[in-house]
Structure formats: C-alpha cells, structure tokens
Amino acid sequence: MRTRREVLGMALVAPLAAACAPDLLLGNPGAVRIGVSWSGSELAAFRTVLARLGYDRPVDVVPLGDDIETAFTAGGRSAPDIVMLPRAGRVRPLAEQRKLRPVGEGLWSDELGPRYPDVWRQLLQHNGKPYGVPFKAADKSLVWYNRQLVAEYGLGDPAGWTLADWLDRMEVLAETPVRLLALGAADGWVLTDVFENALLAESPRIYDEVAVARDNRVWESPAVRAAFDHLGSLWGHRHAFPGGIAGALTKQFPDAVREVFEHRRAVMVVEADFAEPIVRAAVRRSGRRVEDVVGVAAFPAVAAGLDAPRIVGGDVMVVTESANDRAMELVALLAAPSAPLPWIEEDGGFIAPNLRTSARYSPFLEPSARSLGRRTAFDLSDRIGAVGGRNGLWRILTDFLVTVGDGKTERLEAATDRAIAALGAVDQGRR
C-alpha cells in the first residue's frame, strides 16, 4: 500500500523528485533543511510557498515520503532542521525523547487570542510547552460526488443522506452501469478514513477514548463493533464498487477520483480536501466544466437525527533538537497567516489551520475552511501510533474488506470478531 503522498507524486508530477534528487543529496552548505513527506503537486506547491516568503537564507527541501521518521535519527549535515510531520500524534513522544526543540509560545497566540484551535494544542504541547506549529489542516470527512450522475439517475441530494441512504442508492443503481462508491483500497489510509468517520458517527465518546488511551484501548466496545457493521454493510454490498472488490483493491486514491469524475463509473468518493487538484484534473480530461460536475458533501450520520462525523487532520512543523535559531526564524515565517496563500489560491487542496489566515478558497473547500476551527475530533490513525499504520489498522481493514466484499455479508460477524481481535493484538504488541 502506498501513501497518498507517494501516489500524488507518481500521478501528477513524478519527474520532480528525480530531477531534484542530486541537489537534495548534496545539500547546500549553511542551508536550513526541511524534511517533508510530500511529493508531486504538494511538493511543488510548498516550494512556491517558500519562494514567496522573502526568507534570505538558503533552504533545502528533503522529500522523505514514508521515511519521514528518519529525520529524527539522521545526523550531521543530512539531519533536517525542520520536519513537516504528517502525524501530529508523534509530537509528544518525540518531545519526551528529547528529539525536538520547543517552539515559541508567541507563534500560538497574539493580541486577539489563540491562533489555532485547541484540538491542535492538546496534541502538540508537552510539559506546558508547545513543540510544534500546525501548518496544513485536512478535512477528513468530505465526500466528492458527480452532480451530473446524481441528477441522471434521480438519486436526490447527497448532502441529506445517511449511511442507510447510501445502501438504498446502491440498490437503486444495481441494474445500471454505475456504482455508488469508488474506493482506492490499495491505499490503506483510505480505508482508515472511512472507518474513523463511521466510528465517530456511532460514538464520539468511544472515538475519543480510543484516541487518547495509551493502554487498554476499548476495541471490544459495542461502538467499535457497530462501526465495523456499518462498513460491512457498505463494503459488503454486491453492487458497491465498480469492478467489485478486485477492482477496489487495485485502485489508489487518484484512480478512485478518476472513476467518479473522468470515467463516470461511480457516483462519489470519500476523500479529504487534498483531492481537489486531482478532481479538477479528472474533470478537465472528461471535457466537462468543473462547476457543472463537482459536488461536495459531508460524510453522513449513521441515521436521521444523529450528528454527522467531522474529523480534522493535517501536518505540523517541528524543529529537531540539533537545529539552530535560523530554523526557528523560518518556522515563524511559515506560521504567518499569509504564508500558505499561494498554495490555497493557486494550487488548491490546502486548508490553513491558522485562525488568522484570510484566503480565497475554492467554493468546494470554503465551507470546510470555515468549520475546521470548531472541530474537536482529530484523525484517529494519526494519534494511536503504530496501531493506526500500515501493519495495524491499514492491514486489518484490508483483510476485513476482502472477507465481506462482493456480497459475502454472511461473514460479517466473524470478520468483525477477527478485526477486533487483531486490533487488540497489535495494540498489545506495541507495548
């Protein structure tokens, strides 16, 4: 399974990393080095942000992809000074291990009060000091849909649907060439996003207990079981995905986006805001107009009258223990409200966590940009360490999908038992 950052690099601007590789390996003497997990379009957008900061010292950007953790074990000239960390839940453990320098409290507040929502401070503070600064937020509860397909098949308004309505629409589409959902199951994090939304929709209390616990997580909770039941009903529907489970397992997240907006084989796809550039490119290739085709809704509630899930994630800036004050100066510039404007307004797929940032967001992301500051649920898999990663939740959800997919819902109870036991085993193994 590849991460979205690897896939964005291959799908959109694959030659970029190769072209830059010699410079990155040699480095620039005296430069501030920034380790990032981005590639492709995201990396290019970040370079534009840096170019417009007005920073008068050399900067080396080091794309590390999945190996971002090596930034905290490297030494000498190869060691990054700043790391754009995609897992905010790692900040406290790294601070406890004395691998990070605390950042200035002034980056977190000004004369108007806090510059970031409190959910970020809870993750990035250790012993009363902040050890990171949010840079890039992500709306993890978005559903992108094809407005023309919705109208063509008389499906109604996705903004008002529940998860039960998703099942109903799968039945409506059963005799058509179109399926309701595209799923990039080759990327395990796509599966975790859906699971997290289902769990938060089922029980915010249990979601929070799983997120904050260091020992004895409540995997055996009825709410966790209910979340798997929701997934089993959706993923196990015989008419859920184009090409069935075999097709879903071979698709990465850009492929799933293209199924909806270029090939028109699915009505919608669950993806975060960073899918926007791929959505736009797919619509352009289809020969249609973006404003005519693209719709965005929020992930639905499990039933009418209940709250829908709203999850925030993102990338944070941390300063490694060996970095000098030049790195702190650059972090301060990147934390300025105006710093990400080129990415937001020219490239898209970026939401600023800084409450002072005033930007012209696309109509697709503007509602998310307004609401993210009020959200209190943070990306679960980013907070639970190895359990949320490739050999934990990613693998377990993939096995679950294979077991129940293509109409094998009679296996749901046993598949749920196996998944919950596997989560507990991975959790025990990490301690």
pLDDT of residue 326: 95
Same domain, 223 and 356: no
| Whether the predicted pLDDT of 16 surpasses 80 | no
Q: Same structural domain for residues 224 and 104? A: no
- 394 lies in the same domain as 290: yes
Helix axes 222-235, 163-172, angle to 10 degrees: 20
pLDDT given for residue 8 in this prediction: 47
Residue 22 lies in a domain: no
Whether residue 219 is contained in a domain is answered as yes
**How many domains, the chain?**
2
CATH number where 354 lies: 3.40.190.10
Average pLDDT, the chain: 92
The residue-averaged pLDDT of 179-185 equals 98
Q: Do 394 and 294 fall into the same domain?
A: yes
Q: Is residue 15, in this structure, part of any structural domain at all?
A: no
Q: Are residues 113 and 36 in the same domain?
A: yes
Regarding whether 317 and 186 lie in a shared domain, the answer is no
Instruction: Provide the whole-model pTM.
Output: 0.91
Residue 118: domain span: 31-138+313-372
The reported pLDDT for the residue numbered 430 is: 62
Q: Are residues 265 and 175 in the same domain?
A: yes
| pLDDT for res 226 | 98
* pLDDT reading at 227 higher than 90: yes
Domain shared by 158 and 255, yes or no: yes
Q: What does the alpha-carbon distance between residue 201 and residue 35 come to, in Å, rounded to a whole number? A: 35
What pLDDT sits at residue 428? 84
pLDDT value at residue 386 = 84
pLDDT, one tens digit per residue, over 234-279 is: 999 999 999 999 999 999 999 999 999 999 999 999 999 999 999 9
Q: Which residues of 186-217 are buried (b: 16+ CB within 10 A; e: fewer)?
A: bbbbbbbbbbbbbbbbbbbebbbebbeeeeeb
More confident site: 66 or 365: 365
pLDDT exceeds 90 at position 76:
no
Query: Per residue in 332-380, pLDDT tens?
Result: 999 999 999 999 999 999 999 999 999 999 999 999 999 998 999 999 9
How many Cβ atoms from other residues are within 10 Å of residue 75's Cβ? 7
